[in-house]
């Protein structure tokens, strides 16, 4: 069971415990206290620098999901009559192990699939990747973080040699001169972060928001650009064209710190302002004003989120915004840079330590022989036994029931969250065997042959890495209900049943110590971080190599601003790239990119564009937040947001049921009429299953580099529904 060493709460069921929110990548600090009657109370934790005590509604009500009535407390197995019935842990684990072993014996190791989640702690993500490759021997592992910011990660790695969501802390945002927010709505997706943008404007800076909807965030902006969905790439290229034409290029910076400018400039010059206006719907005067606001101050930032990233050209789209930063000298300088606002709670750490199809711990590439040797040595296996890269998330889900016959899901709900969701649900139903580990009986768990009830954030200790690259200790505050076990215990139990008796401890600190060794020397080096240090500090920014006397490994890193000597702890790296980029030559690389249409453009049959997103009171697939009465009261169900002109053409009034139909299916939800959206576009939130499931409609067309599906734009028609 989990060790509760001296740096953890001595009495987790009675003492106030400083910890972190289970939801978005801010990982807001909070205190948890057990109060009379056995309930848990959430209170402010003003000393944590990211949120400084502020919490959104989701954070304030997070303890509601800890209640026994809101979550699973016993394993469930599929009975002979087809229903799920309670079972003991030994029976459930035996059934999973037996079915995995039978599948492997009959079809081979790659017939076994593993699907993880961006909400898993670093320890669990690390152990899950190791379990897939060492115990199961399968290459078929990926996770729902592929749907989050994989395009930004690919573009950042291509440009800078390293991906970290924000290469600077959030505290730098109010100190810059201008921020361009592209496809991001933090007022609803991470409300405590909005104060940074408010402070930016109070300090005399300007905020530009790029979004086809006039969101709560766009209402705060000095300039709101509302491009047609799927045209963010053209918009960035049009701005870069004007930067060149108006003589705003930082020629000295480009010469000293970048490569590939001539090709990128030639590509941008093919996107003159009038051409971009026709593509995007953003007027030439608006383009010129955006360039002026961005280039006038001595420091500026571009921050992207799912809008430009969840496209079949997302990597190139993010690359175009990075090009704008590089051409104007706005990267690798104080108070300037490109960053990605990570979505899921551990979206950053979740992809650094091995549950992604092509990566090993420490953000190492699975195809790198040196990386394979290093990690295999830590794991005590032959590097030749490690499988190569497997399928990306959607490709893995699409292969279920054919090439992949059995699947283990940990912390994800693809029935609601995956694109072309009805097809994914059908693929899940076609499996020979499905096992799901979750806190609640999600829509995916309802399809499983075995469901395992696992601990959640407040019931377990572990680390997460927030959107700044700040590694945090999320402490256990309460004891899980009887009948519930941790994910690490699940992997330990399955590994033993499948013949691997060692290497899967249940103590998260022991797992983290191994993770430190596995990450040492890699791009995401955690070797200088330990639990005691995290308990004493407000998180530590990676890369943070260990001193030579500690591990014997080199402490040099191309992104670090300081080096360790002797046994002095490395301070961590809040700001990357100030001296050089993480490329072989230390230069950032421009990407020569050009606009291209979305994978699916409107036509006579499907004349309207659909874009999707979140609302403030719900989170991701809603598996947790839909079980909280206060949040459901604020956001009880799906809706279709449309412009009054489109509503008039349909003859639809506020609240009327509307059917949104794509080439993949049909969703029905009430109309919400607003002038805050383009007339050629409708919006649906994606938190709900059933008839209003937005992802029934979305397009699984994949970015060729990141393998990100095109969630953010597809062609639909909208119809009134008659009774």
Question: Which domain does 30 fall in, by range?
Answer: 17-70
3-state secondary structure of 709: strand
CA–CA distance, 237 with 221 (Å, rounded to integer) = 22
155 and 266, same domain (yes or no) = yes
- Residues 314-330 have a mean pLDDT of 98
DSSP string, 267-322: HHHTS-HHHHHHHH---HHHHHHHHHHHHSSS--EEEE-HHHHSSTTHHHHHHHHH
- Residues 479-484 have a mean pLDDT of 93
CA 670, 671, 674, 675 torsion: positive or negative?
positive
691 in a structural domain: yes
Per-residue pLDDT at 245: 98
Domain limit, last residue, from 70, 100, 131: 70
Q: Is the predicted pLDDT of residue 551 greater than 70, yes or no?
A: no
Q: Is the predicted pLDDT of residue 519 greater than 80, yes or no?
A: yes
- Residues 673-691 have a mean pLDDT of 98
297 in a structural domain: yes
In sequence order, the 6+-apart residues with CB closer than 8 A to the CB of 2 are 460, 461, 476, 486, 506, 507, 508
CA 404, 405, 409, 413 torsion: positive or negative?
positive
- Residues 356-370 have a mean pLDDT of 96
287 and 370, same domain (yes or no) = no
CA–CA distance, 697 with 681 (Å, rounded to integer) = 14
Q: Is the predicted pLDDT of residue 4 greater than 70, yes or no?
A: no
CA–CA distance, 524 with 543 (Å, rounded to integer) = 5
58 and 135, same domain (yes or no) = no
160 and 276, same domain (yes or no) = yes
In this prediction, what percent of the chain has a pLDDT beyond 90? 92
Band of pLDDT at residue 554, cut at 50, 70 and 90: very low
Q: Is the predicted pLDDT of residue 415 greater than 80, yes or no?
A: yes
Angle at 559 between CA 553 and CA 563, to 5 degrees: 50
CA–CA distance, 80 with 85 (Å, rounded to integer) = 10
Per-residue pLDDT at 2: 40
- Residues 673-686 have a mean pLDDT of 98
In this prediction, what percent of the chain has a pLDDT beyond 70? 95
Per-residue pLDDT at 472: 98
3-state secondary structure of 633: helix
3-state secondary structure of 29: strand
Mean pLDDT (the chain) is 94
600 in a structural domain: no
61 and 123, same domain (yes or no) = no
Per-residue pLDDT at 548: 82
Residue 255 φ/ψ, nearest 5 degrees: -70, -40
In sequence order, the 6+-apart residues with CB closer than 8 A to the CB of 306 are 148, 149, 183, 184, 343, 613, 711, 712
SS3 content of the chain, % helix, strand, coil (to 5): 35, 20, 45
Distances (CA, A) of 313 to 237, 496, 618: 14, 43, 28
Q: Is the predicted pLDDT of residue 669 greater than 70, yes or no?
A: yes
For the segment 134-157, what is each residue's pLDDT rounded down to a tens digit? Answer: 999 999 999 999 998 899 999 999
366, 461, 358, 355: which is closest to 410 by C-alpha? 355
Q: Is the predicted pLDDT of residue 7 greater than 50, yes or no?
A: no
Q: Is the predicted pLDDT of residue 36 greater than 90, yes or no?
A: no
Total domains in the fold of the chain: 4
Q: What is the CATH number of the domain that holds 218?
A: 3.40.228.10
The pTM assigned to this predicted structure is 0.94
Band of pLDDT at residue 696, cut at 50, 70 and 90: very high
13, 23, 19: which is closest to 620 by C-alpha? 23
Distances (CA, A) of 443 to 134, 142, 448: 29, 19, 9
Per-residue tokens: 321: 């915004």
Cβ density class 530-569: b for 16+ within 10 Å, e for less: bbebbeeeebbbbbbbbbeebbebebebbbbeeebeeeeb
205 and 302, same domain (yes or no) = yes
Q: Is the predicted pLDDT of residue 559 greater than 70, yes or no?
A: no
Per-residue pLDDT at 566: 55
In sequence order, the 6+-apart residues with CB closer than 8 A to the CB of 161 are 558, 581, 582, 583, 584
For the segment 170-193, what is each residue's pLDDT rounded down to a tens digit? Answer: 999 999 999 999 999 999 999 999
366 and 332, same domain (yes or no) = no
For the segment 193-213, what is each residue's pLDDT rounded down to a tens digit? Answer: 999 999 999 999 999 999 999
139, 191, 172, 328: which is closest to 252 by C-alpha? 328
558 in a structural domain: no
Per-residue tokens: 173: 């945002």
Q: What is the CATH number of the domain that holds 525?
A: 3.40.50.740
Q: Is the predicted pLDDT of residue 609 greater than 80, yes or no?
A: yes
Domain limit, last residue, from 70, 98, 115: 70
Place of tokens 């087809």: 82
Place of tokens 């969501």: 165
643 in a structural domain: yes
Poorest-pLDDT segment among 430-439, 505-514, 557-566, 582-591: 557-566
- Residues 380-390 have a mean pLDDT of 98
Per-residue pLDDT at 549: 64
340, 418, 391: which is closest to 180 by C-alpha? 340
Cα dihedral 275, 280, 286, 287, rounded to 10, equals -60
For the segment 612-639, what is each residue's pLDDT rounded down to a tens digit? Answer: 999 999 999 999 999 999 999 999 999 9
For the segment 109-119, what is each residue's pLDDT rounded down to a tens digit? Answer: 999 999 999 99
For the segment 425-450, what is each residue's pLDDT rounded down to a tens digit? Answer: 999 999 999 999 999 999 999 999 99
523, 503, 522, 499: which is closest to 513 by C-alpha? 503
Q: Is the predicted pLDDT of residue 563 greater than 70, yes or no?
A: no
**CB–CB of 249/243 below 8 Å?**
yes
124 and 254, same domain (yes or no) = no
For the segment 53-64, what is each residue's pLDDT rounded down to a tens digit? Answer: 999 999 999 999
For the segment 209-264, what is each residue's pLDDT rounded down to a tens digit? Answer: 999 999 999 999 999 999 999 999 999 999 999 999 999 999 999 999 999 999 99
564 in a structural domain: no
How many C-beta atoms surround the C-beta of residue 101 within 10 A? 16
Domain limit, last residue, from 294, 313, 340: 340
455 in a structural domain: yes
398 and 513, same domain (yes or no) = yes
Poorest-pLDDT segment among 412-421, 474-483, 645-654: 474-483
- Residues 368-397 have a mean pLDDT of 98
Q: What is the CATH number of the domain that holds 41?
A: 2.20.25.90
Q: Beta-strand (E) ranges in 550-704?
A: 588-589, 608-613, 640-642, 657-662, 665-673, 681-685, 699-702
- Residues 13-23 have a mean pLDDT of 85
Poorest-pLDDT segment among 14-23, 54-63, 380-389: 14-23
Per-residue pLDDT at 382: 98
375 and 496, same domain (yes or no) = yes
680 in a structural domain: yes
Do β-strands 608-613 and 681-685 pair in parallel, antiparallel, or remain unpaired? parallel
> Cα-atom radius of gyration of the chain, to the nearest Å?
24
83 and 163, same domain (yes or no) = no
Cβ density class 70-96: b for 16+ within 10 Å, e for less: ebbebbbbbeeeeebeebebeebbbbb
Q: Is the predicted pLDDT of residue 10 greater than 90, yes or no?
A: no
439 and 543, same domain (yes or no) = yes
Per-residue pLDDT at 14: 56
Per-residue pLDDT at 550: 56
Band of pLDDT at residue 568, cut at 50, 70 and 90: confident
């Amino acid at each position: 069971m989990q060790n509760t060493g001296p740096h953890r709460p001595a009495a987790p069921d009675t003492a106030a415990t400083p910890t972190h929110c289970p939801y978005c990548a801010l990982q807001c600090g909070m205190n948890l206290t057990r109060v009379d009657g056995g309930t848990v109370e959430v209170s402010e934790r003003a000393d944590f620098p990211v949120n400084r005590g502020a919490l959104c509604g989701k954070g304030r009500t997070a303890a509601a999901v800890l209640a026994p009535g809101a979550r699973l407390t016993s394993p469930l197995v599929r009975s002979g009559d087809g229903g799920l019935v309670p079972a003991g842990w030994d029976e459930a684990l035996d059934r999973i192990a037996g079915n995995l072993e039978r599948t492997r014996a009959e079809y081979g190791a790659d017939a076994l699939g593993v699907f993880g989640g961006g909400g898993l702690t670093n320890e669990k993500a690390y152990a899950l990747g190791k379990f897939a490759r060492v115990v199961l021997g399968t290459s078929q592992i990926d996770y729902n973080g592929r749907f989050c910011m994989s395009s930004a990660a690919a573009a950042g790695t291509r440009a800078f040699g390293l991906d970290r969501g924000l290469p600077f802390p959030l505290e730098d945002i109010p100190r810059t001169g201008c921020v361009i927010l592209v496809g991001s709505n933090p007022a609803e997706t991470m409300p405590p972060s909005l104060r940074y943008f408010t402070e930016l404007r109070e300090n005399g800076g300007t905020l530009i928001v790029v979004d086809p909807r006039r969101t709560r965030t766009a209402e705060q902006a000095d300039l709101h650009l509302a491009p047609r969905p799927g045209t963010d790439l053209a918009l960035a290229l049009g701005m870069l064209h004007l930067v060149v034409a108006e003589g705003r290029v930082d020629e000295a910076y480009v010469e000293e710190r970048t490569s590939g400018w001539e090709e990128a400039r030639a590509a941008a010059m093919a996107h003159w302002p009038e051409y971009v206006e026709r593509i995007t719907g953003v007027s030439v005067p608006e383009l010129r004003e955006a360039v002026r606001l961005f280039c006038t101050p001595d420091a500026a930032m571009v921050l992207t989120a799912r809008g430009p990233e969840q496209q079949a050209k997302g990597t190139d789209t993010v690359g175009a915004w990075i090009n704008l930063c590089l051409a104007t000298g706005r990267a690798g300088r104080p108070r300037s840079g490109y960053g990605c606002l990570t979505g899921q709670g551990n979206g950053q750490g979740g992809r650094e330590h091995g549950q992604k199809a092509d990566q090993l711990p420490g953000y190492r590439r699975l195809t790198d022989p040196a990386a394979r040797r290093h990690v295999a040595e830590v794991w005590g296996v032959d590097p030749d036994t490690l499988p190569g890269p497997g399928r990306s998330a959607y490709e893995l889900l699409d292969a279920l029931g054919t090439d992949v016959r059995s699947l283990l899901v940990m912390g994800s709900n693809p029935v609601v969250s995956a694109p072309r969701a009805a097809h994914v649900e059908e693929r899940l139903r076609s499996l020979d065997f499905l096992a799901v580990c979750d806190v609640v009986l999600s829509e995916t768990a309802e399809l499983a042959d075995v469901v395992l009830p696992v601990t959640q954030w407040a019931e377990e200790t572990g680390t997460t890495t927030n959107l700044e690259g700040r590694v945090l200790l999320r402490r256990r505050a309460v004891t899980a209900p009887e009948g519930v076990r941790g994910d690490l215990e699940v992997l330990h139990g399955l590994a033993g049943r499948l013949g691997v008796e060692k290497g899967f401890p249940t103590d998260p600190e022991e797992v983290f110590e191994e993770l430190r060794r596995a990450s040492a020397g890699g791009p995401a080096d955690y070797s200088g971080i330990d639990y005691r240090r995290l308990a004493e500090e407000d998180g530590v920014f990676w890369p943070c190599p260990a001193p030579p006397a500690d591990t014997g490994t080199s402490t040099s890193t191309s992104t670090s601003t300081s080096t360790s000597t002797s046994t002095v702890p490395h301070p961590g790296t809040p700001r990357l790239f100030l001296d050089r980029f993480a490329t072989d030559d230390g230069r950032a690389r421009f990407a020569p990119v050009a606009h291209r249409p979305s994978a699916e453009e409107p036509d006579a049959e499907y004349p309207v564009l659909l874009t999707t997103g979140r609302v403030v009171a719900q989170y991701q697939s809603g598996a947790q937040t839909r079980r909280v009465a206060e949040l459901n009261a604020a956001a009880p169900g799906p809706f279709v947001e449309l412009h009054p002109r489109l509503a008039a053409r349909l003859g639809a009034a506020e609240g009327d049921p509307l059917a949104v139909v794509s080439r993949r299916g049909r969703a029905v939800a009430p109309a919400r009429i607003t002038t805050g959206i383009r007339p050629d576009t409708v919006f649906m939130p994606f938190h709900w299953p059933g008839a209003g499931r937005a992802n029934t409609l979305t397009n699984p067309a994949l970015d060729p580099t990141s393998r990100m599906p095109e969630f953010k734009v597809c062609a639909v028609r909208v119809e009134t529904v008659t009774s």
